[in-house]
A and B are shown apart, each in its own frame.
Chain A
C-alpha cells in the first residue's frame, strides 16, 4: 500500500516542477480527448499553447494575453488576501460590474467635456463602486455575523440586474437609436483608457495589476497587516492573542478586494470593452477565484496563473476557428488543466511512500 507522508517543509523543487508536470499531463489527456473528437491531438495542443506565444501572429496575441490576463490578476490579488485570512468574497463579479457602472457613469457625466481630470475621477469612482459593493457583506458580517459567502454571491445577481437596468435606462446612449448600451468610451478621449504604447496591450489596468502584485507581495512579507492576515488564516486563536481585530480585518480584506475588482471593471469598460451593456461581464470575477487558488494565493503565483488562464482562452479560440473544435472541448480542456494543477500540488507538500506495517 502507498501512503502519503507530510513533508516537514514544502518541497521547493516540486513546487516549481508540479505546474510543468500538470501541463504535460493535461497535454496527454487533452490530446486523447481531441483524438476522440477526431482532431489531430498534436496539432490541437500546439495551437493552444504555441500559436499565441510563438505562432505567426504572436505579435498580435502576446499583447492580448496582457489584456485578457490583467483583470484576472487584479481581481485575484485582492481575493487572495481575504482567502488567506479565511474571509470568502466570492462576489467579485458583482464588484467588477459595480466598478464598471460607477467608473463609466462618472466619465459619462462629464460628456462631452474634455479635461485631464476626468480619467482620474473615473478611476476613483470605479474603485469606490467595487468597494461599496463589497462593504455590504463586510458590514453585515461585522454587525450581524451574516455569512459573507452568501451575501457577496447574492449581490452578483443584484449587480447583474443593475447592469441591465442602467444599460437600458440611465446610461443608455442617447444617440443609440433606442438600442441598449452606453456611449462608447473609446471615442471619448478624456475617458478612454487607451493603450499606453500602441500595439503593446499595456493599458492602465495592466499597469495597476502589476502594481497590485508588488503591493500584495510587500504587504504579505514585510508588513504587520500582512502578518495578521496570514496569522488569522493559519491560527485564528493565536491571532486573537496577537491582538488582531477581526472586524477591522474583515472590513479591510473585503473592501480591498472589492476596490480592486471595481478597478478591474472600470479599466475594462473604459478601455478594451468601451461600453456598458447588458452582457458586459464575462465571468472574470469567478475565474479570478480559480486563478487565486492556482497561484496558491501567492502574488507571483497569481501573476503566472493569470497568464496561463489567458493563454488557454486565447489559444482555445484559435483552436476553435482553425480546427473546428467546439467551445465545450476547450472548456473541458481548461477543466482538466485545473484538475491536474490542483492534484499534482500534492507532491509539494507530501511524499509518497510505500507503507510499512507499523503505519496505522
Chain B
C-alpha cells in the first residue's frame, strides 16, 4: 500500500470528467423539478441522447453535430413525457418510468448497426500558457469543451433562476401552479419548455458518455447514471451549485475508491465499491439541517379547471 501513488491533481482532474454526465443530466432535471414536474425518465433520455449523438457524429464525422443531435434526441423523447403528463395529465412517476423503459429499448433498436465503431474524437482544449500552470492547469484548463459547457450551464441556470423574470415565473409555477395560473402565467407552456430543456440536457449527458468518456456504443451503456442524477437533484436541494458539488463528490468518491484499490489499500473491495452510495446518504443526513425543501407543486398534475 502506498498512498503516495495517488496524485491529487490528476485525481481532481479525472473526477471532473467522471462527474460531467451526472452534472449535465442533473442540471436539466433540476430545472424540470423547479417547474414542479418530476420526470423519472432521465436514464431513458440519456441513453437516447447517447445513441443519437453517437450515430450523428459517426455519420457526419463531427462530434459537435453529434452533441447537437444528442440534445435534440433527448428533447424529442421528453416530448413523449410532455404528451403524457401535460396533455393527457397522466401520473408523472409512472410516465417517467415508462419513458426509461421505452428509451432503453428504442436506443437499442437505433444502435444495432453502431456496435464496435469508434466515434470521431473531440480532443481537449489546450490553451497555451494557462494550461501549463502547475496544479491549476491540469485541473482547470485541460479538458474537453463539453465539460466547460456543463459548468457554464450550471452557472447559467443559477443566474436565470435567481435573477431573471423567467426564473421567477418558473419558480412560481413550481411552487403553486394555481396561483401562477391566476396571475396569468401559462403553466402548461412553461412546464413543457422546462421538460424539453431537461430532455436536451440529459441527452447531452448521455452523449458525453458515448462520445467522450467511453467512447463507444453498447446497449444500456449509461448503466444507471440517470438514476444517480435524479438522486443528485434532491441531494442538491434544487440548487445548481450544490448539484455541481454533489456531482463532483459522487464522481470523486468513485474515482477515489478505484485509486485506493490500485494503491493496494487493505479495505475490502466491496465496501469501497458501495462507499459512494453510503457517503451520499451520510452527507444527505448532515445536510438535512438545511430546511429548504422541494418545490411545493412537485409531481402534481395541473389542470386549469376555470
- Chain A residues with CB under 8 Å of chain B are 4, 6, 37, 83, 88, 140, 144-147, 149-151, 153-155, 157-158, 161-162, 164-165, 286, 289-290, 293-294, 326-336, 338-339, 342-346, 349-350, 360
Out of A144, A164, A360, which one reaches B285, CB within 8 Å?
A144
Partner of A153, one of B88, B103, B106, B227: B227
**Minimal Cβ-Cβ distance residue in A for B268:** A165
- Give chain B nearest CB distance to A337 CB in angstroms: 9
Is the CB–CB distance between B97 and A331 below 8 Å? no
Structural contact, A342 and B98, CB atoms closer than 8 A: yes
B-chain residues with CB within 8 Å of residue A37 when the two chains form the complex = 109
Chain B 198-235 near chain A by CB (<8 Å), digits 1 or 0: 00000000000000000000010000100100110011
Contact across chains for A158 and B102 when beta carbons are under 8 A apart: no
- Size of the B side of the interface (Cβ < 8 Å), in residues, is 46
| B190, CB-defined interface residue at 8 Å | no
Chain A residues, CB < 8 A from B94: 289-290, 293-294, 338, 342
Contact of B231 among A144, A150, A293 (CB under 8 A): A150
B288, closest chain A residue (CB): A144
Closest chain B residue, CB of each to CB of A283: B101
User: How far, in whole Å, are A360 and B273 apart by their CA atoms in the complex?
Assistant: 56
Contacts of A329 in B (CB 8 A): 105, 109
**Least CB distance, A165 to chain B, in whole angstroms:** 4
Are A335 and B101 in touch, CB under 8 angstroms? yes
The yes or no answer to B258 lying at the interface (CB within 8 A) is no
Nearest 10 pairs between A and B by C-beta?
Answer: A335-B102, A331-B105, A293-B94, A328-B108, A338-B98, A342-B90, A332-B105, A165-B270, A161-B274, A343-B88
Cβ-closest chain B residue relative to A344: B88
- Distance of A360 Cα from B305 Cα, bound (Å): 9
Among candidates A4, A83, A290, residue contacting B97 with C-beta atoms closer than 8 Å? A290
Residue from A37, A88, A154 with most neighbouring chain B CB atoms (10 Å): A154
Chain B nearest CB from A162 CB (Å) reads: 7
Q: A149-B234, A158-B277 are in contact. Are A332 and B106 (CB under 8 A)?
A: yes
**B112 at the binding interface (Cβ < 8 Å):** yes
Q: Which residue of A lies closest to B235 (CB)?
A: A150
When distances are taken between beta carbons in the complex, the residues of chain B under 8 Å from A342 are 84, 88, 90-91, 94-95, 98
